[in-house]
Structure 1
Amino acid sequence: MKKLILFVFVTAVCFTATAQRFYDVIKYGAKNDSSKIATKPIADAIAAASKAGGGTVYFPAGKYLTGPIHLKSNITILIDAGAELHFSDNFDDYLPMVESRYEGVDVKSFSPLFYAYKAENIAITGRGTINGHGQKWWNYALTFYKNQTERNKYQLLFDSLNKDILLPDDPTQMKRGFLRPPFIQPLYCKNVLIEGITITNSPFWTVTPEFCENVTIKAVTINNPPSPNTDGINPSSCRYVHISDCHISVGDDCITIKSGKDLPGRTKATPAENYTITNCTMLSGHGGVVIGSEMSGDVKKITISNCVFDGTDRGIRIKTARGRGGVVEDIRVDNIVMKNIKAQAIVLDMEYAKTQPAPVSERTPQFRNIRLSNITAYTKQAMFINGLDEMPVSEISLNDCVFEAETGITIRNGKDIELHNVRVNTKTGASLSVEKTERLTVNGFVSAKPLTTAPLIRLTNVENVLLMNNWPFNGTKTFAEIKGANTKNILFKNNTLGEAAVIVADDVKKEEVKQ
């Protein structure tokens, strides 16, 4: 019996040691004083781990200079506290070009700094730092944008490898710029974990899983300085994505959800779906959490909760344009605090690019069933909803929200819109302006700082509106101003308006307003 117990114990120890085997990159020739580029030693350590069935490729404290790192299945990259990975800014190090995706278009381009293709069970973890040294990439891209210089050898190589790709509506997108590599891009992977690391100076989008399943991004810090297109986390056409406890300050959007652009996105028809985003803080960025504008493959079943945005240009932003196609639906946003928002706290805009009305087709985008609640925002504009003439934004609700704003909520081309217990304090203009919208409920809407120079609510060419349970603050001179020859069926119910007036313009038929 003692021999049997000893055998089982030794076997268990050996099995555990094998299962947790570490592959120290220094033992494979990497220098932790950045004196020599370590691309090959790192690749050798990954190959050895892969040959053994998987393992942890370990970076002890120190500074490592490297080119791109390609992960294989069952590989964990562990970047220990005190370890720094510095990626080369020599463009040649990111050749040969690989399968990638650039702004929603499938291409072959520079290798991402961390890359995996059709791998499973991969991870990048630890308390260390990875630095993309993006300045040279940014400078080159900005120079090309400004000067439209002749295509260099990298762009000519790109052209030769991408002769037959599906192009977006604006094909010059693939010609006008210098295509920079994303920092971390797993492509067609399953079971991806990115946890604990600090990322800085990304050449382009920072963490961009594409066509992946079961992705977890947790406790990651991303610090990119003001720089072109250095979005934080952009999971595109993925499903089962979990983003939590991250701290993000970047040169573009902090978190963006995408699913492909125009015909390339509709052809792949791979939605972004089943995402949870929670417990994150976001500082510098064009948007806090953004959906689109590349959403041609659909975006569905997204929850965003318990986040703080402080200093972003916008808070929650959903954007698209005619030609994209695709549907954004079943979105939940709850328990958000926004401060120092430079433009709008909430944006739902279907005219991100201005175009003329068109017949409804597969190229017509749709926004529907979007629910926002428990939001406090200090911002320039409270909210902007802008649908299309041929496709209104529909099934939108705003519940238990407070806005301190220069200007209020604007809604155009909406359908089935509800506002419940919403307070909007403005410095100028109406707190709520609604145009060309059908079926609107306004329940318990107030301003604690009413203006004498503007109505609380302005309605223009709207149909089927219910104004209920409203009790404006003392000092509200005009509760509602109603105008527009197409205005129909405005119903007041259970309101306590006091001295606040309702002004009905001459172009509105009197029988259409029921007080």
Structure 2
Amino acid sequence: MKVSKLKSLLLLIALFFSTSTFAQQYFNVTKYGAKNDSSRLATDAIKKAIDAAAKVGGGTVYFPAGKYLTGPIHLKSNITIFIDAGAELHFSDNFDHYLPMVPSRWEGTEVINFSPLFYAKDVENIAIVGRGLIDGHGKNWWRFSEVEVKKLTEDSKWQKEFKRLNPNVLAPDLPGWIERGFLRPPFIQFMNCKNVQIKDIKIQNSPFWTINPQYCDNVTVDGITIDNPPSPNTDGINPESCRNVRIANCHISVGDDCITIKSGKDRSGRKVNIPAENYTITNCTMLRGHGGVVIGSEMSGGVKNIAITNCIFDGTDRGIRIKSARGRGGVVEDIRVSNIIMRNIRDQAIVLDLQYAKTNPEPISERTPIFRNIHISDITASTNRAGYLNGLEELPISNISFNNVNMTANTGFLIKNSKDISFNNVQLNAKSGNIITTENVSNVNVNGVRTFEPKAGAALVELTNTQGVYIHNSFPIAGTDTFVSVKGEQSKDIVITNNNLKNVAKVLDKAADVKNEIQVTGNIQK
């Protein structure tokens, strides 16, 4: 009996080591005909290596040092692409190499389009790793998008093929693009995959969005560098309608947004109705881009449970930006942003805008987007405008807080069409205007707001048609002209209490159109 058990144990150990060794098997692409001097297109050789690995259950497709010229690479389950230090994958800029077209999603709309440069669909346990470089050679794609678009007509073979394969995609779903002849492919797009990893590689010159997983579960993007020059829509990392995403330790400089969370656009996004949820973004640096971390504007499937922390934005146009518009629908909720340093932000450090596209008020429906439960803390920034919140007249942005914020800016916070807004321990030195300005807002808590550079003729807080305001625990410094200014006949239920106002020339400036009493009590005054 003991001998039998021993034999069984030895057999299991042998099987384990055999399987482990087997799973770690390497498939060197040069053994399958790839040339590492870029003298020949390696697409077929890479496919042979992937097929060989898949045939035995999976393995690592290995690129040793050298330069490889290739078309699109399609991954299968249990495949790791290992691009070693000194290895460079250069993707062809011949559009025909990205045919036949494949199922894709383009700016939130499902389409059949050119193959992405790296592509996978309905697979699991896939990875792109290594210390090597992948170069999308996007210049030719950008040129046709921006410069030579007028030379393209509906007679182009790419446009004909796109329209043949997409009879139900309407021009309004892809405004400004469907007429341009064709849609550029994303660099890396994995569709409906599980257990995805992209680690350590450098990526540059993407034709379009750079890393764009769609409908994926358990995605890790760690330690990568993305470097796209100023170029059209070359976003960095755009996980769309995914679950359980971790983005960490990345260095990003791109032609559009650095990291963007999306979940589909308008009717197509609402039809699919798959949210982006459970994302963490941490320890990343963004040096160039329209936004540091952005949510939307394609968010029709909803975005929820997002944590953004320990990042640096240096030179982006905006810092944290959440954007949408009437027609999108969807809910953005339960967002936490903390420990962010922003420097040289061209426009706004923080933007929550439900009127990203100009539209007219309409009855609340499935077309109405919602922003709620968004909390921002421990922010240091130098910027043009500190913050901009712009909700809808028919449905305000709600439950937003700013905690432990220290900024220098040209102008302060402008809050419009919002409710349940809280400022706690906010220090802002603005070159002009008010620290906080509200218009059509309700339920505002201002706790400990201050500036060390008060401006003549400007109130620290200016309220217009604002209701339910509690301002307390502030200690304005000498030179402050006015503490609070109130305007608008709808302004009411305003309390100014428990502030040290001995350095303030005027505690309250109440406009003639304010009909309701303002309570000023319990303050230290001259």
TM-score category of the 2 structures, normalised to the smaller one: over 0.9
Q: Give the gaps of 5 or more residues in structure 2.
A: 522-526
> Quick one: which of 391, 398, 403 aligns to 2:395?
391
- Say which is worse superposed, 192-201 or 474-483, in terms of deviation: 474-483
Give the 3 Å change call, closer, same or farther, for CA 208–2 of structure 1 in structure 2: closer
Distance 1:414 1:493 in 2: 23
1:276 aligns with 2:276: no
Give the 3 Å change call, closer, same or farther, for CA 336–312 of structure 1 in structure 2: same
**What is the total number of aligned residue pairs between the two structures?**
515
Give the 3 Å change call, closer, same or farther, for CA 48–465 of structure 1 in structure 2: same
Give the 3 Å change call, closer, same or farther, for CA 8–274 of structure 1 in structure 2: closer
* Map of 1:50 onto structure 2: 54
**Secondary structure in structure 2 of the residue aligned to 1:325:** coil
Contact (CA 8 Å) 1:166, 1:264: kept in 2 or not?
Answer: no
**Secondary structure in structure 2 of the residue aligned to 1:92:** helix
Q: CA deviation at 1:172?
A: 5.6
Q: CA deviation at 1:452?
A: 1.1
Q: How does 1:297-376 map to 2 (within 5 A)?
A: 297-376=301-380
Q: CA deviation at 1:477?
A: 1.2
Distance 2:324 2:151 in 1: 29
> Quick one: which of 431, 436, 449 aligns to 1:432?
436
> Quick one: which of 195, 208, 211 aligns to 1:191?
195
> Quick one: which of 289, 295, 318 aligns to 2:293?
289
**Secondary structure in structure 2 of the residue aligned to 1:122:** strand
**Secondary structure in structure 1 of the residue aligned to 2:147:** helix
Contact (CA 8 Å) 1:168, 1:263: kept in 2 or not?
Answer: no
* Map of 1:414 onto structure 2: 418
TM-score by length of 2: 0.95
Deviations 1:92-116 (A, max 9, x none): 0000000000000000000000000
Q: Which amino acid aligns with 2:512?
A: D
Deviations 1:165-203 (A, max 9, x none): 366556564334631010000001010000010000000
> Quick one: which of 56, 61, 64 aligns to 2:68?
64
1:181 aligns with 2:158: no
Q: How does 1:36-185 map to 2 (within 5 A)?
A: 36-145=40-149, 149-165=153-169, 168=172, 173-176=177-180, 178-185=182-189
Give the 3 Å change call, closer, same or farther, for CA 411–127 of structure 1 in structure 2: same
Give the 3 Å change call, closer, same or farther, for CA 355–458 of structure 1 in structure 2: same
Contact (CA 8 Å) 2:154, 2:160: kept in 1 or not?
Answer: no
* Map of 1:21 onto structure 2: 25
Percent pairwise identity: 60
**Secondary structure in structure 2 of the residue aligned to 1:473:** coil
Q: CA deviation at 1:379?
A: 0.4
1:262 aligns with 2:266: yes
Q: Which amino acid aligns with 2:122?
A: K
Contact (CA 8 Å) 1:273, 1:301: kept in 2 or not?
Answer: yes
Distance 2:62 2:74 in 1: 15
Contact (CA 8 Å) 1:321, 1:352: kept in 2 or not?
Answer: yes
> Quick one: which of 252, 255, 260 aligns to 1:251?
255
Contact (CA 8 Å) 1:340, 1:378: kept in 2 or not?
Answer: yes
Contact (CA 8 Å) 1:105, 1:167: kept in 2 or not?
Answer: no
Q: Which amino acid aligns with 1:137?
A: W
Contact (CA 8 Å) 1:105, 1:168: kept in 2 or not?
Answer: no
Q: How does 1:219-234 map to 2 (within 5 A)?
A: 219-234=223-238
**Secondary structure in structure 1 of the residue aligned to 2:389:** strand
Q: CA deviation at 1:454?
A: 1.2
Distance 1:105 1:27 in 2: 40
Q: Which amino acid aligns with 1:193?
A: Q
* Map of 1:200 onto structure 2: 204
Q: CA deviation at 1:475?
A: 1.3
Contact (CA 8 Å) 2:125, 2:194: kept in 1 or not?
Answer: yes
Give the 3 Å change call, closer, same or farther, for CA 404–147 of structure 1 in structure 2: farther
Contact (CA 8 Å) 2:339, 2:378: kept in 1 or not?
Answer: yes
Give the 3 Å change call, closer, same or farther, for CA 366–6 of structure 1 in structure 2: closer
Contact (CA 8 Å) 2:477, 2:503: kept in 1 or not?
Answer: no
Q: Which amino acid aligns with 2:167?
A: K
- Say which is worse superposed, 301-310 or 141-150, in terms of deviation: 141-150
* Map of 1:502 onto structure 2: 508
* Map of 2:524 onto structure 1: none
Distance 2:408 2:327 in 1: 35
1:451 aligns with 2:449: no
Deviations 1:337-388 (A, max 9, x none): 0001010000000110001111111100000000000000100110000001
Contact (CA 8 Å) 1:417, 1:440: kept in 2 or not?
Answer: yes
Distance 1:152 1:287 in 2: 34
**Secondary structure in structure 2 of the residue aligned to 1:437:** strand
Q: CA deviation at 1:83?
A: 0.4
Q: CA deviation at 1:497?
A: 1.1
Q: CA deviation at 1:17?
A: 2.4
Contact (CA 8 Å) 2:158, 2:181: kept in 1 or not?
Answer: no
Q: CA deviation at 1:431?
A: 1.2
Contact (CA 8 Å) 2:126, 2:197: kept in 1 or not?
Answer: yes
Q: Which amino acid aligns with 1:56?
A: T
Q: CA deviation at 1:332?
A: 0.3
Contact (CA 8 Å) 2:472, 2:497: kept in 1 or not?
Answer: yes
Q: CA deviation at 1:507?
A: 1.0
**Secondary structure in structure 2 of the residue aligned to 1:508:** coil
Distance 1:79 1:280 in 2: 22
* Map of 2:483 onto structure 1: 479
Deviations 1:131-181 (A, max 9, x none): 000000000111255667555210111011000236655656433463101
Contact (CA 8 Å) 1:423, 1:445: kept in 2 or not?
Answer: yes
1:34 aligns with 2:50: no
Q: Which amino acid aligns with 1:509?
A: K
Q: CA deviation at 1:493?
A: 1.7
Contact (CA 8 Å) 1:105, 1:166: kept in 2 or not?
Answer: no
Q: CA deviation at 1:403?
A: 1.1
Q: Give the gaps of 5 or more residues in structure 1.
A: none
